[in-house]
Structure 1
Amino acid sequence: MHTVDYFVLALYFCTLLVIGFRANKRHKDVDDYYVGGRKVGVLSLAALWMSSWVGGAAIVGSAEKSYQVGISALWYALSIFIGFLLFALTCAARIKELGDTHKHITYPDLIEERYDSRTRIVSTLTTVAAYLGYIAGQLIAAAHIIAAISGQSLGISFVVATTVTVLYTSMGGFFAVETTDKFQSLLVLGGITLVTVPLTWNYMGGIERLVTELPADFYDWGNWGWGTILAMVTSMVLTFFTSMDSFTRCYAASSCKAARKGTLYAALAALVISCSICFLGMSSRVIFPDGTGAPGGASALIGLIMHVLPVGIKGLLLVAILSAIMSTADTCILCASSNLTSDIYHRYINPAASRETVLRLSIASSICVGVAGALIGWFFKDIMSILVMAFTFNSAGLFFPTMAVFFWKRATSSAAFWSMSASLCTVSLWYIGQGMDPENTWFAIDPVWPGLLVSAVSFIALTLMASERCADTNLQPDNTLV
């Protein structure tokens, strides 16, 4: 690395910290800190969506998979694209409408409004657990990038990534995240798609080497394994409808139309970037066929950038990738922080707390969840495994009760609570079983399937049973959200 590249990295970190500290002065209450006063426009919303989904897995993890299995790695990108489309067309505007009507800040706010407080508790615990996993995956990916740029050890790089991300997110809240994410999204889209792809294409001499030098199975869409692909696509698409950031994005939108359009714009941008990353990962396999200089893993994309790009551009592109990862991490920290502050402290521990007290606690909780996620990331360094596990927890138990908020008025609070609880326990036990006895045939099944099955069966059965009792006694089912 050249001195210019180090300067680019230092300038980037300083910019983030300045943005965070300046944004801190704009917060008046938790509505500002977590949903930006509900006035975010279409392009800003698209950038925020991008920051949620185009991060460590979509860039570093997808490059790794493309290096290993070829075009089949695009299933990750297609999962994101499908999730964006379905969510935009079915729920985005409705969530915005309900959020404005009931002044929701978090996803569990919506769940309690429709069901009850105990269901809120389960959804909060599930969301916090999932977001700690998301934070962990992003921070360890960021550490790999910083290590490549600076030449420092992974441990030192991890501390730097965690410190900078936690500081600017906790101090700046939503306004810092919004500002940095617009800047970071442009940097990623332009740096990867408009700079790295053309330079790599030129270095490779066109696409011919990809066709002639890669194994035939690199063009097999099922090379990743159809069982793994189906489970991943299912859990990721469903996560759009249960993920905390999906709801906060819609709450923050300036209008129902903005909520829908911002989501659709993000879908197109994410697909373009993901296809670019797949090309770069496969190109890295051609340039380093035996892993020399880019020994698979997270270093596949990094090795290509270090080898192909000129001084200055090299540092800029590594910073672009780093910015995508850190922008996802800041979103995850803010979401988990709002769970602790709004869904636990302000809802159950101290409902009478002043807005100044809650705002101060919001900053403290952002620091706490950032550090907790960092510790998880350090002990479990497999980026894709951490994120897929988080997607599973977030989707398996929450999907059916969440969809019932919008599409099934007969659904009951008791059914929602027990289906969420049973699914959460099932998924947890399944992962434990896989760790203790990986050869067991039952545990070879991806945990998302038993989790979804238990949730669906218990939710539907308990709702129908409650409806029959109501019919027999001329009572009405639980409250519905209108």
Structure 2
Amino acid sequence: MQIQIIIAVYFLALIVIGVFSFFKIKTPGDYYVAGKKAGFIPVSGSLLATLLGGSAILGTIELGQQIGWAALWLLFSAASGLLFLVPLSKYVKRFGNFTLPELLGKFYGKRAEIIASAVIPVAWLGIVAAQIIAAAKILSGLHIVSYYPAAIVSGVVFIVYTLIGGQHSIIKTDTIQSVLIIAGIILITFYAVEHPTSGEVEHFSPTLLFNNNFKPFDLLILLLTYSVTFVVGPDIYSRLFCAKDEKTASKSVLTVALILIPLSFALTYLGIYSNTVESAGIIDFAEHLLPGWMYGLFLAALLSAVMSSADTTLLTSSIILGELASGDLSGKSSIKLTRFLVVILGVTSILIALFVNSVIQSLLFALTLFSGAFTVPTLFGLLRIKVDNRQIIPAIVSGGTIALTGKIVNTYFNDLTGNIIIIFSFLISTIILFSTTTKKQRK
């Protein structure tokens, strides 16, 4: 009963923050980017909470169970992407306003903005759904409610507070959630270290970063399909657009990158540790390790991780589609349209979660499509590299299609062939952008 109360209070607190934030929204900029006034702590907290979604936390622990200390590479690659973004973040803040497609429009023209606005929300639906799946699995794991009603309840909660308070409520809840997430990870790691099991936890050594289940080539694919999404991710850019200035944006990205490294060690250790106990996973052995009230807080931390990613990706996708439909986000009527899209996309994500219950599968397919389509064009734009702007749509469509094809081949047919196709997608996108068309061909 104690655990149910803690979780109920947590959900209620999110709704209350959303209602409180509603009264602070005076302009579209307040709803979309928190008035561009967020300081270092809110931007860093929101960015950290967004990145440490349920898929990142549960995914790292799951990988730790499967491949040992090589699982460190998951969040290491995320941190490396953020470190690469640090010098670029000032340009993101300088050139961007509300969304990534809008930024691409400044670099390549209106056609690029339109195609990005059409593709990104579709890809991001898989990410929102992945977070709902993770939340539903956490709640259903308590044996209070089954998976399907848990997915509906989780989805409705984050739809409501995103709908009401927009970016104002997300910045506030994310900052609180980041504290809960870090506290929860530290708490369970401390208890795991202080309560050794009969099995032996393998001590870390640099030689364990690669093994038969994770080779250097696997790291290359991880960098291309996962790390790059931390360099050009629309959810990350939405945090930077909220920052009050370029310095705040850069400092926040650097701080979060450094925080991810020790968290990666803690989560990987938990994965390895869980193999030495008879448990079905992190939730199961946390229940046996922690006192009741601490276990409730730990579950709230896990739900925080899930919700913080879900709300950001949901609002970002809705803003992007709203911009595509209206052509202008500066009018007050655009907020109504965006709120309508929050409901539509949120409900769609819930439906996906009801039929697809694999977090990693939903997440990685979406990220692969996005990275293949937008990594090369976005990086070239931020670095001010001159390309043939007329080729932007073929580059986006070809890159995304080939990368997604590679992921399908990788998942269902052959690992090596699929990975080679994914690498090929980035090369093709680059070649297309640098290609030139002769006058005769244009005619």
TM-score (norm 2): 0.92
Assess if the C-alpha contact under 8 Å between 1:6 and 1:149 holds in 2: no
Q: Which residue of 2 aligns with 1:97?
A: 94
Q: Which residue of 1 aligns with 2:403?
A: 427
Q: Which residue of 2 aligns with 1:156?
A: 149
Of 322, 327, 332, the match for 2:308: 327
Assess if the C-alpha contact under 8 Å between 1:232 and 1:388 holds in 2: no
Q: Which residue of 1 aligns with 2:169?
A: 176
Of 420, 428, 431, the match for 1:454: 428
Residue pairs, 1:76-475, within 5 angstroms: 76-88=74-86, 90-99=87-96, 104-193=97-186, 195-204=187-196, 209-211=200-202, 219=208, 221-226=210-215, 227-288=217-278, 293-294=279-280, 300-342=281-323, 344-347=324-327, 351=328, 355-431=331-407, 438-439=412-413, 443-445=417-419, 447-462=421-436, 465=437
The letter for the 2-side match of 1:211 is: E
Closer/same/farther in 2, CA of residues 390 and 218 from structure 1, 3 Å limit = farther
**1:263-299 CA deviation, whole Å, 9 max, x = no partner?**
11111222222221111111111112xxxx31xxxxx
Give the deviation of 1:221 after TM superposition.
2.3
Give the deviation of 1:443 after TM superposition.
4.8
Closer/same/farther in 2, CA of residues 68 and 440 from structure 1, 3 Å limit = closer
The letter for the 1-side match of 2:398 is: A
The farther-off stretch of 156-165 and 145-154 is 145-154
Of 44, 47, 51, the match for 1:46: 44
Give the deviation of 1:241 after TM superposition.
2.9
Closer/same/farther in 2, CA of residues 29 and 447 from structure 1, 3 Å limit = farther
Closer/same/farther in 2, CA of residues 76 and 34 from structure 1, 3 Å limit = same
TM-score (norm 1): 0.85
Give the deviation of 1:51 after TM superposition.
2.1
- Structure 1 unaligned regions, length at least 5: 295-299, 470-482
**1:436-460 CA deviation, whole Å, 9 max, x = no partner?**
xx44688533653232122112112
The letter for the 1-side match of 2:75 is: A
The structure with the largest alpha-carbon Rg is: 1
The letter for the 2-side match of 1:221 is: F
Assess if the C-alpha contact under 8 Å between 2:388 and 2:434 holds in 1: no
Closer/same/farther in 2, CA of residues 417 and 245 from structure 1, 3 Å limit = same
Partner of 2:431: helix, strand, or coil? helix
The farther-off stretch of 372-381 and 56-65 is 372-381
**1:419-451 CA deviation, whole Å, 9 max, x = no partner?**
11222232344456667xx44688533653232
Q: Which runs of 4+ in 1 moved over 6 A?
A: none
Q: CA RMSD in A?
A: 2.5
Q: Which residue of 2 aligns with 1:477?
A: none
Partner of 1:196: helix, strand, or coil? helix
Closer/same/farther in 2, CA of residues 209 and 440 from structure 1, 3 Å limit = closer
Counterpart-to-counterpart distance in 2, 1:372 and 1:247: 24
Q: Which residue of 1 aligns with 2:7?
A: 9
Q: Which residue of 2 aligns with 1:32?
A: 30
Assess if the C-alpha contact under 8 Å between 2:76 and 2:260 holds in 1: no
Partner of 2:380: helix, strand, or coil? helix
Counterpart-to-counterpart distance in 2, 1:79 and 1:223: 19
**1:379-401 CA deviation, whole Å, 9 max, x = no partner?**
22221222222221111121222
Q: Which residue of 2 aligns with 1:478?
A: none
Give the deviation of 1:187 after TM superposition.
0.8
Partner of 1:410: helix, strand, or coil? coil
Counterpart-to-counterpart distance in 2, 1:209 and 1:442: 33
